[in-house]
Amino acid sequence: MGANFSSCVCDGNDEDGGSSMRPRLGDIPESCVAFVLMYLDPPDICKLARLNKAFRDASVADFIWESKLPLNYEFIMEKALEDDSFVAEVGKRDVYARLCRPNLFDNGTKEIWLDKKTGGVCLAISSKALRITGIDDRRYWNYISTEESRFHIVAYLQQIWWLEVEGDLEFQFPPGTYSVFFRLQLGKSSKRLGRRVCNNEHIHGWDIKPVKFLITTSNAQHVVSQSYLDNPGNWVLYHAGNFDSKSHDDLMKIKFSLTQIDCTHIKGGLCVDSVFICNSDVKNCVDC
């Protein structure tokens, strides 16, 4: 048997007496390549697809990309796309690629995408989708346009006694742990002569007492945390806390809030951009 195998692989000699037929990477069966690719991260699969035709053809196999998609990817597609026929018309690789792009929903006030490396779900909720006490009173709050927000608008607080920012989301979260962040900045930034400048004129009151973050879910999870706001002129992700999802079929309602309701002092100079909810395996949800 060994002699027969040797003769099959090394049938014929070149001018130097060596073998003219050697096993090549392209000789690996496509099905074997596909099974190997299934255990790699999506960016690595895309890199190996450039090697040769066998790897390229194997890299589009539906079973590879279905293993990378969240279990409830059809629910996410319904949220992210208006065209219900997209999933039926394309392969799973194209579905994965589409979901890795930012997808707006709820009239452009929310955004959802998958992390390219892990397939983890990430969501962003605009300040326009939050309930902000006093938002309609121009003495306290106003909306300003900016390129520094993925939604191109932030809520700016000039001054107030009672700070209360609330939001909620009903969603089928794939199983895992999720982190909630508030993206905030002390000071109002703008462009002047092509350079970024930050107006710190209204910043006051944040060093006296911390703000309070609260997270509650419809399955009785409850998280409370506190943090002082600092680092003027820079956007900061303040970690409000984590919650867990056990089943991708459960429609969970999560509520989150940011408050500072000590009326012994006023506070001001705060920009509220958005709230992020990201799978904890995602290293930096803002850059996704």
* pLDDT digits 0-9 by tens, 73-121: 999 998 887 666 666 678 899 999 999 999 999 999 999 999 999 999 9
Rounded-to-10 torsion of CA 54, 94, 282, 286: 130
CB burial of residue 164 (10 Å; 0-12, 13-18, 19+): middle
Facing residues of 244 across strands?
177
Measure Cα distances from 271 to 105, 148, 155 in Å: 23, 11, 6
Buried b (16+ CB within 10 A) or exposed e, 129-148: bbebbebeeeebbeeeebee
Among 10-24, 101-115, 148-162, 237-251, where is mean pLDDT lowest?
Answer: 10-24
Q: What is the mean pLDDT of residues 223-231?
A: 97
Q: What is the mean pLDDT of residues 221-233?
A: 96
- Tens digit of each residue's pLDDT (9 = 90 or more) over 203-215: 999 999 999 999 9
R_g over Cα of the chain = 26
Q: What is the mean pLDDT of residues 261-288?
A: 87
- Tens digit of each residue's pLDDT (9 = 90 or more) over 114-145: 999 999 999 999 999 999 999 999 999 999 99
pTM, whole model, 2 decimals? 0.86
Task: Give the pLDDT of residue 9.
Answer: 33
Report phi then psi at 86, rounded to 5. Answer: -60, -45
Task: Give the pLDDT of residue 8.
Answer: 33
Task: Give the pLDDT of residue 194.
Answer: 84
Place of tokens 């074997």: 32
Task: Give the pLDDT of residue 185.
Answer: 97
